Amino acid sequence: MADSLEARIIEIIQSTLRHESGNAELTLGPSASMETVGEWDSLSFMSVFCAVNKAFDIDPDFDDAVHYISVASLHRYLEAVTV
């Protein structure tokens, strides 16, 4: 079962990608990543980056963008920076 942080991350990314792609049926899970989700491409990456930062009220360095490529890596990153 997903924890609340993971569920929130999934919801933010899913909502952002649904909006960007126009695919209202898009459903993500804990293993979703840029490699496995066609709608999560380099163009939508910045929308995901901005949506997550706004939702968690964080201002990461651009170097931290490497964590925004999968639900799992983003989960680990947010656990570290929001505690």
pLDDT of residue 62: 86
pLDDT in tens, 23-77: 999 999 999 999 999 999 999 999 999 999 999 999 999 899 999 999 999 999 9
Tokens of 61: 């360095």
Strand partners, 70: 33
The CATH number of the structural domain formed by 4-81 is 1.10.1200.10
| CA neighbor of 56 nearest in space, from 68, 44, 66 | 68
